[in-house]
Amino acid sequence: MITSRHQVQNTLEQVDQLVKFLAARIRVALGPDTAFRFELCLSEALTNIVKHAKPNDRKGLIDVITTDRDDTVLVEIFDPVGTEAFDPRNHATDLENVDSLAEKGRGLGLIMQCADVVDYGRSGDRNRLALQFAKAVVTQAGEEE
């Protein structure tokens, strides 16, 4: 099991760099299809925090912990201290029900659809979103299952 911890400020520039960095690191472990889902979920979750959690506090800190296990990768995302709770499981719109010409409103639905397990709750004085991804099983033909 390998755990890595990262901390970024509450800005789109910093979270985008972190997403790019973590996605590149985890790609081999997850396989390309799952790695895409990992990158997308991480991008959506962190963007939501920057845009909605504490938009007036750009110095607030976001913590991200990834844990690479035998069969899964877990990513835990901690809002800046003092952020109100927002459980995506209670607010996500099924992508099937999003107006195809809507410019917003897909982020939470993407997280719910693309992560294998979504958990949310308090951890000390922080809100914690945990997303789990099962590692792809590669067949002898080299295809992901």
Partner 1 sequence: MIHSKTHDPNITVIGPGAERLTAMNAKVFKDEVTDLINGGATQLIVDFKDVSFLDSSGLGALVGVLKKIGHRGELSVSGLSNDVKQMFRICRMDRVFKVYDDVDSAVQSMAESQ
Task: Look up tokens 């799952």; give the residue.
Answer: 34
DSSP E strand boundaries for the chain: 2-9, 61-68, 72-78, 117-123, 126-134
> Which amino acid is present at 145?
E
Whole-number minimum distance, CB 47 to partner 1, in Å?
4
CA 14 vs CA 2, 50, 99, 139: distances in Å? 23, 10, 30, 37
Q: Among residue numbers 1 through 30, which ones bind partner 1 (CB under 8 A)?
A: 12-13, 16, 19-20, 23
Does 102 contact partner 1 by CB under 8 A? Answer: yes
Q: What is the CA radius of gyration of the chain?
A: 15
Backbone angles phi, psi at 86, to 5 degrees: -150, 100
Tokens of 140: 């002898």
Closer to partner 1 by Cβ: residue 102 or 141: 102
Closer to partner 1 by Cβ: residue 60 or 107: 107
Q: Among residue numbers 65 through 84, which ones bind partner 1 (CB under 8 A)?
A: none
State the CB neighbour count (10 A cutoff) for residue 14. Answer: 18
Whole-number minimum distance, CB 62 to partner 1, in Å?
14
Closer to partner 1 by Cβ: residue 31 or 80: 31
Does 52 contact partner 1 by CB under 8 A? Answer: no
| Per-residue DSSP letter, 89 | G
Does 51 contact partner 1 by CB under 8 A? Answer: yes
Does 130 contact partner 1 by CB under 8 A? Answer: no
Positions that interact with partner 1 (CB under 8 A): 12-13, 16, 19-20, 23, 32-33, 36, 39-40, 43-44, 47, 50-51, 95-96, 98, 100-104, 106-107, 110, 113-114
